[in-house]
Amino acid sequence: MAEVTLHATPHATPAAHAEGHQHPIKLYLVVWGWLFVLSTCSYLVDYFNLQGHLRWSLIVLFMMLKAGLIVAVFMHMAWERLALAYAILLPPLLLLVFVGIMVFESDYTLLSRIIFFKAGA
């Protein structure tokens, strides 16, 4: 019965939806500020020429924090139903499997190149 009422009034859904997204502007300004801080941090990683594991872990950390803020707040994913959030956020994790496959593949290619093209060209 309730579902029938919902479908009978197609304009009701966006209206109810609109009410759910009345966040104060301050929230967006705070997130904006954090994105600036995080971007500055990742730029400083390069500016101070940090190297090795410290560089990689800092770059990935700042990247994930920025991506998280953008998706959760700017794209409103934090307020979506889990059925949508999981449907969108879980599939990209498959890329990590792809990364794993390609790491093996490129290690093998590099090994072949080093063995058969010693000059490195």
Q: Which residues bind other proteins (CB under 8 A)?
A: 2-3, 5-6, 9, 11-18, 20-23, 25, 28-29, 31-32, 35-36, 39, 42-43, 45-47, 49, 55-56, 59-60, 62-63, 66-67, 70-71, 73-76, 80-84, 86-88, 91-92, 95, 98-99, 102-103, 105-107, 109-110, 113-114, 117, 120-121
- Cβ 28 to other proteins shortest distance, Å: 4
- Cβ 4 to other proteins shortest distance, Å: 10
The dihedral sign for the CA sequence 83, 88, 93, 97: positive
- Cβ 47 to other proteins shortest distance, Å: 6
Is 70 in contact with 81 (CB distance < 8 Å)?
Answer: no
Q: What is the DSSP string of 24-92?
A: -HHHHHHHHHHHHHHHHHHHHHHHTT--HHHHHHHHHHHHHHHHHHIIIIIT-GGGS-HHHHHHHHSGG
- Cβ 95 to other proteins shortest distance, Å: 4
